[in-house]
Amino acid sequence: MENSIRNHFRERLKKARPCYIADSGRNLPAKHVGGRLLEIGCGARFTYRTAGLELYGLDITTEMLPVLKTRFPTCNVVLGDSRELPFRDKAFDIVVFSFLLHHLVHATPKGCVINMHVALQEAVRVMKDRGIAYVREVMVYNKIISHVLFYLTALCAKLHISLDFLEMRSDVVTFFLTEKMFRKLCANLRLEKLSWKEWKFWFLGKSGVEFSLAKKLSEIN
Ligand SMILES: C[S@@+](CC[C@H](N)C(=O)[O-])C[C@H]1O[C@@H](n2cnc3c(N)ncnc32)[C@H](O)[C@@H]1O
């Protein structure tokens, strides 16, 4: 599965789809100046950056990293898997996931959720006690839509069919969480919501969601 993900993103990068190249960098609140930021599954760009931040980008697709480094020469690029981060505990002030979670798929929906749990757990491990995690993700309104899209994309991948009008590409299986599933994952990892923003951008019951999350104070010694 990891290989089809890599191939998929290699192709997308080659075709230079604007969404992979566009400079979307948003500023973060001034309190983050001077901190160390890790974007997990960064692709060829940083979602957030503010002058004074030390930037680390990690991605599983090798080809993304030279593009990122050319665009942000002072950043640190790391080839790796979100489920096994090659960093020490509590190394980062800010950890970012931008549209990665739905790619952490497995043969079953339950396996997908476990993969996401492992990736978020790794993020919590490398995040400082008073750090912040920003998670941007596509979510769906209910479990039925989530499962239908998962099995539909799995079938398309098996039959090598692309349904571009549904943004479904052959070989890429996706699993979209519902907000309820995401909140449960956060609760299991003792993460609490600081802020939340939603934007509806598609049909089929999908929306974009951006969470900022912190470790629960009661968990911090
Ligand atoms: C949809 S793109 C998002 C890229 C970027 N974050 C953005 O918002 O434009 C997903 C990225 O995650 C990477 N990726 C997929 N699976 C990964 C994994 N297990 N660990 C790390 N990166 C992964 C892909 O190579 C791809 O660059």
Domains and CATH numbers, the chain: 2-141+175-216 (3.40.50.150)
Each residue's pLDDT tens digit, 2-28: 677 787 777 777 765 545 555 566 777
Q: Give alpha helix (H) positions in the chain.
A: 2-14, 18-21, 64-71, 109-126, 143-159, 179-188
CB 65 within 8 A of CB 59: yes
Pocket lining for ligand 1, CB < 6 angstroms: 5, 9, 20, 41-43, 45, 47, 59-61, 64, 81-83, 98-100, 103-104
Specify the DSSP element, H or E, that contains 191. strand 191-200
Between 109-126 and 179-188, two packed helices, what is the crossing angle to 10 degrees? 50
pLDDT averaged over the chain? 87
Distance 43 CA to ligand 1 centre (A): 5
Average pLDDT over residues 114-127: 98
Helix, strand, coil shares, percent, the chain, to 5 = 35, 30, 35
CA distance 12 to 80: 19
Place of tokens 């609760």: 187
